[in-house]
Amino acid sequence: MKEGIKVGIKEGFKFCLDLAKIIVPVTFAFAILKETVIFKQITYFLSPYMGFVGLPGSAAFTVLLGFFSLYAAVGSILPLGLTVKETTIVAMILLTAHTLIIEGGVLKQLKLNYIKLTAFRILMAFFIGAIINFLM
């Protein structure tokens, strides 16, 4: 039993380090990126669309990152200074539609219509986000 605990702690620590290798650099990069003029212009443009689900335009970057890597999206949330409500909405969107590129490849290998299924997941993610926004 003690050996199992040792292995579990060692593997858990290794996993935490692997996550930190993604989350920490993304957090720092995002903190710098959000101060740029182009970031502010893009968020200004996206604000009306993200407002539909109760999010600021800057959250669009987090959602897009989550479509590729859920861990990168987690790293980008902190610099945005989102409220609890906004963080909950982002979390629900990403729980519904995350790592779409990888999962799209799996769907394609299964000979399913991955384009329609991916589009459906994105639409449902934003629909769920709108419902959460309305309820909170």
In the block, residue with structure tokens 């994105």: 122
- Measured from the Cβ of residue 66, the count of other Cβ atoms closer than 10 Å reads 26
For residue range 53-92, what is the model confidence (pLDDT) as tens digits?
999 999 998 998 898 888 888 888 888 889 999 999 999 9
Does residue 1 register a pLDDT over 80?
Answer: no
**Nearest-10 crossing angle of helices 84-96, 114-135:** 160
> What pLDDT score does 130 carry?
96
* pTM assigned to the model: 0.81
Torsion of CA 110, 115, 119, 122, to 10 degrees: 60
